[in-house]
Chain A
Amino acid sequence: MNTKEITNQEELFVSGHRACHGCGMAIAVRHILKATGKNVIVVTPTGCLETFTSPFGYSPWRVPWIHHLFENGPAIATGVVAALKAQGRDDTRVLAIGGDGSTFDIGFGALSGMLERGDDVLYICADNGAYMNTGGQRSGASPLYSATTTDPAGRSSVGKFQMKKDIPTIVAAHGVPYVATASVAYLKDLEKKIKKAMTYHGPRYIQIDSTCPSVWGFPSDRTLEVGRLAVECGITPLFEMENGEITKVRKIKKKISIEDYLKTQKRFRHLFAGDQGREALKEIQDLADANIRKYGLLKQAKAETTTSSEEVFT
C-alpha cells in the first residue's frame, strides 16, 4: 500500500465522485462524516448528492449508503432504524441526507411523519435552493426573487415571487430535541452541530446552506465566500434549537448589505437593473433585517424570540 492509499483510508468520502468543480454539498458531506465517524448508515433521496456519488461501480462512500426514491428518504431511514433495533444493534446510527427539493417539497409528508413518530434519525437537508440535479427548477427553498428555470427573470418577472419556507421552525414545531442551521462557510461550526446532534436521540434536523457554483452562478473558488456573505448579511441565520429553545446563535462579525451578497451570483443579476429590481432588493433587505431582529444576530442586539441565546463560537 502506498502513502496515498493510506491517507485515503481515513477519509469516509473519497475522491472520484462526480460533483461539479467547487461543489458546496460535497464539502458538507465530507465534514458530516468526519463528525459522525464510520458507525453510521446513510440514506440519500434522489438529487445531486445521489447522482454524483452513484455511477454504478464507483462509490465514494466508505460507510453503508442507500439510495431510494426522491420522496421517501425519511421513511427509508425509519425502516433502517427499525431493522437495526430488531438486530439489537444500538451502536450504529442512521443519517438521512436529502436535498431541499426532497426535504421541503416532495418528501415533506414523509419527513413530518418521521418527526412525529419520534424515530432516531439525524435528518440533514443539504440545501442548495433549487432542484439542481434536474437543471435548477424552483423549490420551496428557493429564495425570494431568485431566477430559476421555472421562475425565469424577464420583463414581467423578477424571479420566484414566494418566500423560502421556514422548515427549521416547522420541524421544531413537531417537538423534536435538536434543530440547527449551518453553512459550508463555517465547517468547524458544522462539525460541532453534527456532533451535538449525535448526542441526542430521536428525530433531529440540520439544514446546511450548500452553496452551488454551477447553478447559482459564481466562480468555483468562491463556494465558502458566498456562504459567508449569506451569513454576514443576515439572510441565512445560523442557530441551534434544543428542546424547542434557541440556545445558540452565530453573531454577524461585520454586517454587510444584501446587495453585497446578491451581486456575487447570476441568479440575482436581474435585480440590479430597473425599478422592479430595486423594489425587490428592498424587500429582500427587509427579510435579512427581520432575521437579524428575530435571532439577535448583531452583537449588541437582544434576540426577540428567546432569552437564552448566547454569544458564540468562531
Chain B
Amino acid sequence: MKVTIGAVVKGGTSLGYKTGNWRDERPVLDMEPCKRCGQCESVCPDSAIHIIDEYYIIDYDFCKGCGLCAYECPADAIEMVQEEK
C-alpha cells in the first residue's frame, strides 16, 4: 500500500473492512414486538443498525455480535442466536 504524504486517509474508508466475521452470535430482530424506540441503533458501538423507512436493519457485514442491542431492547425484540460457521 502506498503511503500518502502526511499519511492522509480518506474518511469513511473503514467501510472497506468488514468486521462481521468477528461475530459468534447473531442478533435477530423481530419487527413485530419492536416499538421503534431507536435504542438498539443508539447503543451499537459499530454503527451497524440502520433505520430505513421505520424498519430497523442490522448490517451483518459489520455487526460484531456484542449483544448490546439485544440486552438494551425494552421490547425483547432482538434475540442472539449462535452463528453457524
Contact = CB atoms under 8 A, between A and B. Distances in A.
A87 interface: no
B50 to A, nearest CB: 4
B15 interface: yes
A27 B12 contact: no
B82 interface: no
Given A14-B47, A56-B9, A22 B19 contact: no
A291 interface: no
A221 B66 contact: yes
In this complex, the interface size class of chain A, counting residues with CB under 8 Å from chain B, is 35 or more
Contact of A56 (B7, B47, B61, B65): B7
Interface stretch (A60-68, A73-81, A168-176): A60-68
A153 interface: no
B46 A17 contact: yes
Contacts of B64: 21-22
Interface stretch (A1-9, A194-202, A261-269): A1-9
A15 B67 contact: no
A23 B45 contact: yes
A219 interface: yes
A16 B17 contact: yes
Interface residues of B, number: 38
B14 A15 contact: yes
Interface string A208-225: 000001000001111111
Nearest to A16: B14
A88 B74 CA distance: 48
Given A11-B47, A16-B18, A63 B11 contact: yes
Given A4-B50, A221-B70, A27 B45 contact: yes
Contact of A14 (B14, B18, B45, B70): B14
B47 A15 contact: yes
B51 to A, nearest CB: 7
A225 B43 CA distance: 11
A248 interface: no
Contact of B67 (A17, A64, A220): A220
B17 A55 contact: yes
B13 A58 contact: yes
Nearest to A22: B66
A58 B43 contact: no
Contact of B59 (A4, A24, A63, A224): A4
A22 B45 contact: yes
A224 B43 contact: yes
Contact of A221 (B51, B59, B67): B67
Contacts of B67: 22, 219-221
Contacts of A61: 11-12
A30 interface: yes
Interface of A: 3-4, 7-8, 11, 13-19, 21-24, 26-27, 30-31, 53-65, 187, 213, 219-225
The 7 residue pairs across chains A and B that have the minimum distance between CB atoms:
A16-B14, A221-B67, A15-B62, A22-B66, A26-B45, A7-B50, A221-B71
